[in-house]
Amino acid sequence: MERLLALAKQAASRLPTSTPQQRCKFIQTTADLLIERCDLVVQANAADLAAAPQLTAALRDRLLLDAPRVHALAVATRQIAELPEVLGALVSSSERPNGLRVDRQRVPLGVIGIVYEARPNVTVDAALLAIKAGNAVILRGGTEARLTNAALASVVRDALTAAGLPADAMQIPALLDRALVDALVGRAGGLDLAIPRGGTALIEAVSKAARVPVIQHYQGVCHIYVDCDADLPMATAIVLNAKVARPGVCNAMEALLIDSAVAAQATPLLIAALTAAGVQVHGCGRTRALVGDLVVAATPADYGKEYLDLECLCAIVDGVQGACDHIARYGSRHTEAIVTNNPQTAEQFIAGVDASCVAVNASTRFNDGGCLGLGAEIGISTTKIHAYGPMGLEALTAVRFVVRGQGQVRT
């Protein structure tokens, strides 16, 4: 573990003075090698899948890296190369009354540790984004993806070498068990940042062991509030998109809140649309009074629950304040949405909810680095420190002060 960190720190010390051309060449070469070694990667992945028959269908799908997905990964990789440079970028520049020029400039964080589950695309995405911003990474993917990750690591490390960058800017040790992960994040002064991505248990375990900064990517209990001034066909389209398109993702809707002032009209429409799409709706008492035949009774456990499946809560609330109160109690600071044509109500909702992304008349699914214009993301932070919401390249840097004078002293 000490050796791992020492190699990463050494690589990290060389990256800030690398050129944008080197880092761009590294990313392009990664894409080229992914295509060139597609068969090797796919074979490694097939072996991983064969060795893990116990996985559920959803987990197998996450782990799967077949030829079309390798090609898609190469395309996504080339898009990362196109993203604007952040390393060294000036955030601001001003002159003080004493003539000092004060610049604020982006610098790398240093060494970033990312602990995640068996999702091979994260192996490539996370390494490329971190290195493009000038950081070294130590990755710990799920053990089920061991062979796939080894194949991908050799691609990334060979591309680093081809670009004249230190291969140890990306390390993904095969034998990093839970105790070693704890030791890695528990060493004060070791990593500059740890990012756990995965289930709540993983995030809590890393946070508990950590003596370095941690950015947590917790669950998404996303609500959509349909206001009395909503356009109901628009609300229906947004609710369906947010719940049904990809129910297993963190920005999917988990709870539908309907304004009591429009509930009699809106509830049957919305619930019929959801149930027709195969969604099981857990209804509050007021919902059941309106559409009792279409829903099952919600229990206390349904409030604040992240189903990640074709299920959701439906609760009737009293106006926008009722919606804000519900979200304050059950939300997870991820994504909250309102459907309304009343601009005052929209602003009241925006001011009244605390979430990394608040959406007005749009699907919760837009809380995503690509959709919000960041280009790519390394995850979605639900803590407010350092980054809140999708973390793009900028979130992988710090901003330092550079002061240029002509001999000024402080009086």
383 binds a second copy (CB under 8 A): yes
Query: Does residue 361 touch a second copy according to CB under 8 A?
Result: yes
Q: Is 400 a residue that touches a second copy (CB under 8 A)?
A: yes
Among 40, 183, 261, 399, binds a second copy (CB under 8 A): 399
- Name residue 92's beta-bridge partners: 104
29 makes contact with a second copy (CB under 8 A): no
Q: Rounded to an integer, what distance in angstroms lies between the CA atom of residue 371 and that of residue 374?
A: 8
Give CA–CA dist 369/376, Å, rounded. 5
Out of 188, 293, 301, 329, point to the residue binding a second copy (CB under 8 A): 188
For residue 373, the minimal CB distance to a second copy (Å) is: 6
Q: Which of 2, 61, 211, 264 binds a second copy (CB under 8 A)?
A: 211
DSSP 3-48: HHHHHHHHHHHHGGGS-HHHHHHHHHHHHHHHHHTHHHHHHHHHHH
**Where do the DSSP E strands lie in 42-144?**
90-95, 101-108, 111-115, 136-140
Residue 363 binding a second copy, by CB under 8 A: yes
Helices (H), 83-220: 120-132, 146-162, 178-186, 200-209
Residue 343 CB, nearest distance to a second copy (Å)? 10
Judged by beta carbon, residue 158 or residue 394, the one nearer a second copy is 394
Would you give the DSSP letter of residue 371?
A: T
Torsion of the alpha carbons at 243, 247, 250 and 256, rounded to the nearest 10: 30
Does residue 84 interact with a second copy by CB under 8 A?
A: no
Residue 342 CB, nearest distance to a second copy (Å)? 13
Give the Cβ contact number of residue 408 at 10 Å: 12
Task: Determine if 198 is a binding residue for a second copy (CB under 8 A).
Answer: no
Q: Which residues contact 410 (CB under 8 A, 6 or more apart)?
A: none
Question: For a second copy, what does the binding mask look like between residues 235 and 254, x meaning CB under 8 A?
Answer: --xx-xxx--x---------
Q: How far apart are CA 48 and CA 40, in angstroms?
A: 12
The SS3 call for residue 187 is coil
Using CB under 8 A, count the residues that bind a second copy: 70
Q: Tell which positions 95-114 bind a second copy, by CB under 8 A.
A: 96, 100, 102, 107, 109-110
Binding status of residue 201 toward a second copy by CB under 8 A? no
In the complex, minimum distance from the CB of residue 352 to a second copy, in angstroms, rounded to a whole number: 7
| Residue number, 80 or 206, with CB nearest to a second copy | 206
**Residue 287: CB minimum distance to a second copy, A:** 23
d(CA 219, CA 221) in angstroms, rounded, equals: 6
261 near a second copy (CB under 8 A): no
Shorter beta-carbon distance to a second copy: residue 300 or 407: 407
**Residue 240 CB, nearest approach to a second copy (Å):** 8
Indicate the residue type of 233. Answer: P
Report the alpha-carbon angle 288-289-293, nearest 5.
Answer: 55
Binding site for a second copy (CB under 8 A): 13, 16-17, 94, 96, 100, 102, 107, 109-110, 188, 192-193, 204, 207-208, 211, 213-215, 231, 234, 237-238, 240-242, 245, 328, 346, 350-352, 354-363, 365-368, 371-373, 383-386, 388-390, 398-410
